């Protein structure tokens, strides 16, 4: 398909918890969206609201000017973009791949080089905000890539987000996302320690939350996750397994760069322990259960 400045046709590959609502927001914004999904129910849901279907990543790319990928990790992105019948085989020169997955920055650089050899541009643009913000279109997007490509694709990303910030060249988006995930993980761990301490001391944790949320300890993480813990709601959200993946990418990147991450390493071990106990598909605020087990106490609202 010819590529021009007025991009109206978008491909979307990866219609999971995040990708499905993101693709719906593109449709609401007036873009033509071609989707690929292995789940018939998801595909039918999107067709009803105006999406078109394709059978392979190559076919998606042949029909669109920009292809967005929202996949679990680096191997899946490489397979969809660079593999047999991949996006690279169907993309026209000048078209763009926006990878909104959270993957290794080194993988982003590798994929971009392959695409560039075929005249295809790329942005790495991972997101933060979880399912609720994916649904209401208020995600934060962290973008790496050429500025002119970013400028061309800004309105596309803004249709799914309240904040879209370019942080540097290719790979910078995923470096920023790793920084984000470190801060989120450590926030949840700190929140868990504090609430378990309060509960063990006999202080109502919901009142502790109300008392501290407006001060320096307040954060988006505290506001989003404390009510879930207090109500014992651990359905995802953002799965422990996915946060383990992100922290593994952070630690591997830190080793490449020679940057010790001692607190990240400690939280990673806690999350792995919870995964071993069968909680990998639970929300990452289940980290509180690690501390509860150590202190023999349960954080919850008073009856």
* CB burial readout 247-278, b (16+ within 10 A) else e: bebbbebbeeeeeebeebeebbebbeebbeee
Phi/psi for 133 (5° steps) reads -75, -25
Catalytic site residue from 20, 58, 133, 177: 177
Burial class (CB in 10 A: 0-12, 13-18, 19+), 44: exposed
- Rounded to whole angstroms, what are the CA distances from 236 to 232, 248, 279, 285? 12, 20, 11, 9
Report d(CA 268, CA 284) in Å as an integer. Answer: 11
Active site residue 177: yes
As annotated, the active-site residues are: 177
């Amino acid at each position: 398909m010819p590529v021009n400045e007025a991009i109206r046709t978008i491909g979307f590959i990866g219609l999971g918890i995040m990708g499905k609502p993101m693709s719906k927001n593109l449709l609401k914004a007036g873009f033509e969206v071609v989707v690929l999904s292995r789940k018939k129910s998801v595909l039918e849901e999107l067709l009803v609201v105006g999406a078109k279907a394709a059978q392979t990543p190559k076919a998606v790319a042949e029909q669109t000017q920009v292809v967005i990928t929202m996949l679990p990790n680096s191997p899946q992105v490489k397979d969809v973009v660079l593999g047999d019948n991949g996006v690279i085989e169907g993309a026209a020169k000048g078209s763009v791949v926006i990878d909104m997955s959270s993957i290794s920055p080194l993988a982003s650089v590798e994929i971009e080089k392959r695409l560039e050899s075929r005249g295809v541009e790329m942005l790495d643009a991972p997101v933060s905000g979880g399912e609720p913000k994916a649904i209401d279109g208020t995600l934060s997007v962290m973008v790496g890539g050429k500025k002119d490509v970013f400028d061309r694709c800004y309105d596309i990303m803004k249709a799914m987000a309240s904040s879209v910030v370019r942080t540097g060249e290719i790979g910078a988006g995923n470096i920023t996302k790793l920084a984000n995930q470190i801060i989120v993980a450590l926030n949840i761990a700190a929140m868990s320690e504090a609430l378990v301490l309060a509960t063990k001391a006999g202080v109502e944790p919901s009142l502790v939350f109300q008392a501290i949320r407006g001060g320096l300890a307040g954060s988006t993480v505290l506001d989003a996750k404390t009510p879930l813990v207090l109500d014992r709601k651990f359905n995802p959200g953002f799965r422990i397994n996915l946060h383990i993946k992100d922290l593994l990418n952070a630690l591997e990147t830190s080793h490449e760069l020679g940057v010790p991450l001692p607190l990240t390493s400690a939280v990673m071990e806690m999350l792995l322990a919870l995964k071993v106990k069968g909680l990998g598909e639970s929300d990452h605020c289940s980290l509180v259960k690690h501390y509860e087990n150590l202190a023999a106490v349960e954080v919850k609202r008073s009856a």
